[in-house]
Chain A
């Protein structure tokens, strides 16, 4: 009977993905993308990957949602027409420069084709017995946590997670490079809307508490640093939208410290462990649980700060230069 649910979910997900690409207007695309995120989260739940479902819910419906809304507003500035203006953006290639795009297109097709082949090859030979699942579960008692996903992410493959934090920071640096660091300069005008103020006052502790809960719960079940970071980052975004940009209130060195502390602590810890004679992220089993919790907390703080900074910077960058997009197209 549950085949019915799965088939509806599968059809819905594929249909929404197609609509996302094919919808004629940008607003439709953005909002269909939210629905797509929901369908994907439900699909992940059905596949038994609750961790991924939480991440999908947090990133797709929360963080990407506000980013997309912000981008949507910027696009609507550039076109003269009021309501139907978003159609024009969808067809940015004018007729005469199709020839110059032939090479990039060919490269894109080749790259995607190659990627597809590699993916197919990887799917083709799934090893018997579920790959490394058994190995990971056998070593679970030594990892310091009880949830296999957290054990893999923060102990067995801590290297990957460390680099992922770096990738987010790199994204922020790229935004700085394009838009300049305006973030630290101007404090916004505080919102005088009493309703908005109450909503922010109410949701800030809720978001913080639930983020902290997810962070700690990651030890025994689905949850962890990234999910918590999105919830904490949502606090920063809320405050920014309420006219109190976090990064212009706190001193500059503190902002930089918040942004980098996760990456740096991970790095220092790794090298200290190496100096102690182990491999790069080889936690001593006796202290692994505590170390993982500290690493996760600091990583969550850093990612949350980076997400806040990304949103704040993008939001301010285009508010000041509404015509920027037009010129780059």
Chain B
């Protein structure tokens, strides 16, 4: 079972590494922000799998913290950048 957990974690980590490409390229801020949302989700998945792997349920707290604060970024982006006249981020 441990081997399975490790494979999943490594796969998800590589996913994050791939997502970096979009942060690097992403023409607009919104593209980059969406990638960080992907990072947040993937990070949560990694934390959940790790909670199984390390048998430490307190890791779920880290995952929830990531989760509830992710919305702050999106709203922050929309509200803060909306004030730029006429242009969507």
Contacts and interface: CB of A to CB of B under 8 A. Distances in A.
A190 to B, nearest CB: 12
B80 A210 contact: no
Given A38-B16, A61-B70, A196-B75, 20 more contacts: A16-B20, A28-B24, A28-B32, A32-B20, A34-B39, A45-B50, A58-B69, A61-B36, A65-B69, A65-B76, A73-B84, A83-B28, A203-B68, A206-B68, A207-B68, A210-B65, A222-B58, A222-B61, A231-B65, A234-B72
A82 interface: yes
A41 B62 contact: yes
Contact of B62 (A2, A54, A62, A82): A54
Given A4-B10, A199-B71, A203-B71, A83 B66 contact: no
A12 interface: yes
10 tightest A-B contacts by CB? A62-B69, A66-B76, A31-B32, A241-B79, A34-B36, A38-B43, A57-B65, A65-B73, A31-B23, A53-B62
Contact of B23 (A8, A28, A315): A28
Interface residues of B, number: 53
A38 B76 contact: no
Interface string A52-86: 01100110011001100110110011000011000
Contact of B61 (A4, A77, A223): A223
B27 A83 contact: yes
A35 B20 contact: yes
Interface in A1-48: 1-2, 4-5, 8-9, 12, 16, 19, 23, 27-28, 31-32, 34-35, 38-39, 41-42, 45-46
A238 interface: yes
Interface in B1-16: 2-3, 6, 9-10, 13-14, 16
Interface residues of A, number: 62
Nearest to A319: B83
B73 A38 contact: no
Interface of A: 1-2, 4-5, 8-9, 12, 16, 19, 23, 27-28, 31-32, 34-35, 38-39, 41-42, 45-46, 50, 53-54, 57-58, 61-62, 65-66, 69-70, 72-73, 76-77, 82-83, 191, 196, 199-200, 203, 206-207, 210, 214, 217, 221-223, 227, 230-231, 234, 237-238, 241-242, 315, 319
A32 B24 CA distance: 8
B69 A61 contact: yes
Nearest to B81: A73
